Amino acid sequence: MTATTDASPAAGEPINTVLDAARRATERGIEHLLARQDSQGWWKGDLETNVTMDAEDLMLRQFLGIRDQRTTEAAALHVRGEQLPDGTWATFYGGPGELSATIEAYVALRLAGDAPDEPHMARASAWVRANGGMAAARVFTRIWLSLFGWWKWDDLPELPPELIFLPKWFPLNIYDFGCWARQTIVPLTIVSAKRPVRPAPFALDELHTDPRDPNPARPLASAATWDGVFQRLDKGLHLYRKVAPRTLRRAAMNAAARWIVERQENDGCWGGIQPPAVYSLIALHLLGYDLEHPVLRAGLESLDRFAVWREDGARMIEACQSPVWDTCLALIALVDAGLSPDHPALVKAADWMLGEEVVRPGDWAVRRPGLAPGGWAFEFHNDNYPDIDDTAEVVLALRRVKHPEPKRVSRSVDRAVRWSVGMQSKNGAWGAFDADNTSTLPNRLPFCDFGEVIDPPSSDVTAHVVEMLAGEGKSHHSSTRRGIAWLLAEQEPSGAWFGRWGVNYIYGTGSVVPALTAAGLPTSHPAIRRAVAWLESVQNDDGGWGEDLRSYLDKGRIGQGDSTASQTAWALLALLAAGERESKSAERGIAWLAENQREDGSWDEPYFTGTGFPWDFSINYHLYRQVFPLTALGRYVHGAVTHQEATLEPAGLADSTAQGEGS
């Protein structure tokens, strides 16, 4: 398709080399993105995480007895290719070796036939032993090891299936967990109760620091601490296991199974993400579902769709797929870059997104039972878990398209706006999937050491909703005003905002500043000026911006890292929204994007700039490197998006000095 933009210099306009370079880069970026659109209208980039996805897929197939040579060899090829020189595997590009990932990758290669005395395997096992061995791995890794007899079930935290019976008002009921954790924990209660062992074809003594004492006792924390309280609770649950009434336990497992089956999506997956699907398949199989049962057959087929086959024969497993998210971001990028709003590619994308609208209640209705459904999920099929972030961005995207059926668009948007407003948490902000999912008790459970397990409101999601509401003419709506007040209170003393779903403070700041100015805050507002000053202070010498994932752990790394296309674009989106188009910082950032664009209109970005769980689970969205730079270039060339002219200076929205460090 041919792009139609007004990117050429106007007659009599003075020559500006940065502007001219931006125009050329914008044209190339439009052509590249249009060429990547699927014939059905959607976009989807690869969603790259880490090799535990590949290892667990192989271990699942080994456990179920369906592992085949072709899949095994292809997975092993990918896993070997990700190994670092010191023998380890990291969880993000440029990151340090991680113990659990290294253990799981090692097991996968053993399943593929790699001998423990081969140099790459010997390096891995030596590093594992030097870093605490199998005993120091996270709980989820040790669960996988227990399935094959490499670890003792008695030495794992207990997770009783009776958890399914806890009422919704009771602490630690399943709806106190974030949806991703909830979908994982429910099937694992069945696995924990059954404690299956299907002996592996080899031992793993080389991964113990001392094979004579493979399961060393862990120290007991003080009873005066939450960790100590929950450790003692776990000991009590281990005792309860021995006396649990069989009738009650059987009923609990059956109730959990019904809960799982009811939440299977039309494509066979659970929640559109790989981990719950893997554990759900194991749990149901343990309860007697054979591999030809329609539920299991559909589930296994859905997992095959998470596989990305490379040209070299390697096979990478995506943790999930992001077509709705990628499509709405691509549409925003193309329109902001100057593509005509009635371009056929945009209308086709809008039609596809309209067909993906979620119109039935899901788990979110537990906390909002009277709220009518509306909105969008992240994946192809995930009607149980639409998310507020996608919904906000889809609305922003749809409103940019000149659709031949405007009433159809407006009906979907109206439903989405009502649902989004209804999902606002009590504090005035928004989480991703649930309202008021803020209990910190789940994080204390010994079982929950795999990352974030709750879904509290975040600055980035709240900002996207505020921007969406502003675009709908609701800047003065009470929900918008409460969201703005919350965002102002969440600003860091540095001037930045924490990024929950992207890395990290650059993402948070790049999300919040455009939202605040769209909602009417003047660019002279102290919060906006502090944000601009912070962005200018962390700009790299090459003109770009970057932030390492370790900024989630190390405050000294905040805003620090090699320049990347997506993070440079996020910083620019904030600067442009703040009225800094003519600033030296903005020009240098735009120049960096133009200079680092490839000839085909794309950008390269090996770094992980997406966040699943801060620090614990990181994502490289392969389309981020295309959509965000194109959006920033487009807004530089054509002007930043403005939703309204009104400004907000009423009581309650004046400058608020941030307190504390982080959300």
> Cα dist. 4→31, 94, 335, 581 in Å?
10, 39, 10, 24
Buried b (16+ CB within 10 A) or exposed e, 112-144: bebebeeeebebbbebbeebebbbbbbbbbbbb
What residue ranges in 490-534 does DSSP mark as E strands? none
Helix (H) or strand (E) holding 59: helix 52-64
Class of residue 341 by CB neighbours under 10 A (exposed 0-12, middle 13-18, buried 19+):
middle
Distance from C-alpha of 657 to C-alpha of 654, rounded to nearest angstrom: 10
For residue 301, the one-letter residue type is E
Distance CA 324, CA 47 (A): 13
Q: Is 389 a catalytic residue?
A: yes
With 0-12 CB in 10 A as exposed, 13-18 as middle and 19+ as buried, what is 282? buried
> In 3D, which of 277, 268, 256, 249 has the Cα closest to residue 64?
277
Length of the chain: 663
For residue 264, give the DSSP letter: B
Q: What whole-number distance in Å separates Cα of residue 129 and Cα of residue 146?
A: 18
Q: Is 102 left (phi over 0), alpha (psi -120 to 50) or beta?
A: alpha
Which residues are within 8 A (CB) of 130 and not within 5 positions of it... i.e. 6 or more apart? Answer: none
The tokens for 2 are: 């041919």
Query: Helix, strand, or coil here: 317?
Result: strand
The terminus-to-terminus CA distance of the chain in angstroms comes to 44
- Sheet strands side by side (includes 610-613): 47-48, 617-621, 610-613
CA angle 57, 604, 77 (to 5 degrees): 30
Which residues have C-beta within 8 Å of that of residue 519, sequence separation ≥ 6?
A: 466, 467, 469, 470, 475, 480, 484, 643, 648
* Nearest residue to 275 (alpha-carbon basis) of 375, 459, 138: 138
Question: 54, 363, 383, 389: which is the annotated catalytic residue?
Answer: 389
Please, which residues bridge with residue 437 across strands?
Answer: 455
> Which residue type, as a one-letter code, is found at position 66?
I
Provide the annotated active-site residues: 389
